[in-house]
Structure 1
């Protein structure tokens, strides 16, 4: 959480219970905590390659996984970060299978 600015804006894509904009450290912390709860503590995100930087924009290839009794998720994605003064101020996420991610997290 130390990498985020106090007023970070996180855009969670899709049509699931976590989709939408999440504001500030508290909002992002609640989002990530909710994801850990929904995945029975199994949600994991790992950096899958080198970051690509273009000014304030940083694209990071990732792989994210999760398991529950009734569903699994394992897919590639790109996290697009806006970094200012050494802090992440905005996050936009892209996954290879948005519908599959929605199904894992639970549709709205």
Structure 2
């Protein structure tokens, strides 16, 4: 599979809520770089740490966190840039903004993910 096909397969599985299939596209030692200054920010290494962070985020938003494609995936070698739109609600706080997810794919597996937010300060307020 090409880098783009790997990220597409991950995205499709994630959109269906099929976490085991989504995570099957990751290297066991993958790194997830979550930006910002909030409880989930920082680099998570390995599927267990990444899965815990994502599960905690879904729990905090009571399942309201939605991430949807916001444009075409763009490829440069083994890097795939994926524009997204994300939204969610925690109590009376909401987040609704664009972002960009950057994936590095090596030997058919996602090895690193970097996330970028349209308004990091607003996202920090949301998650804190």
Partner residue of 1:4?
Answer: 26
Picking from 60, 66, 74, the partner of 2:88 is 66
The answer to whether residue 57 in structure 2 is matched with residue 35 in structure 1 is yes
Picking from 8, 12, 17, the partner of 2:39 is 17
Partner residue of 1:81?
Answer: 103
Query: Aligned equivalents of 1:43 and 1:5: distance in 2?
Result: 24
In terms of fraction of residues, the more strand-rich structure is 1
RMSD of the alignment, in Å?
Answer: 0.8
SS of equivalent residue, structure 1 residue 34: helix
> After TM superposition, where is structure 1 displaced by more than 2 Å over at least 4 residues in a row?
none
Provide structure 2 residue ranges, at least 5 long, that are not aligned to the other structure: 1-22
In terms of fraction of residues, the more helix-rich structure is 2
Provide structure 1 residue ranges, at least 5 long, that are not aligned to the other structure: none
Partner residue of 2:72?
Answer: 50
Q: Deviations over 1:68-106 (max 9, x none)?
A: 222000100000110111111000010100011111111
Compute the TM-score of the two structures, normalised by the length of structure 1: 0.94
Query: Aligned equivalents of 1:86 and 1:49: distance in 2?
Result: 23
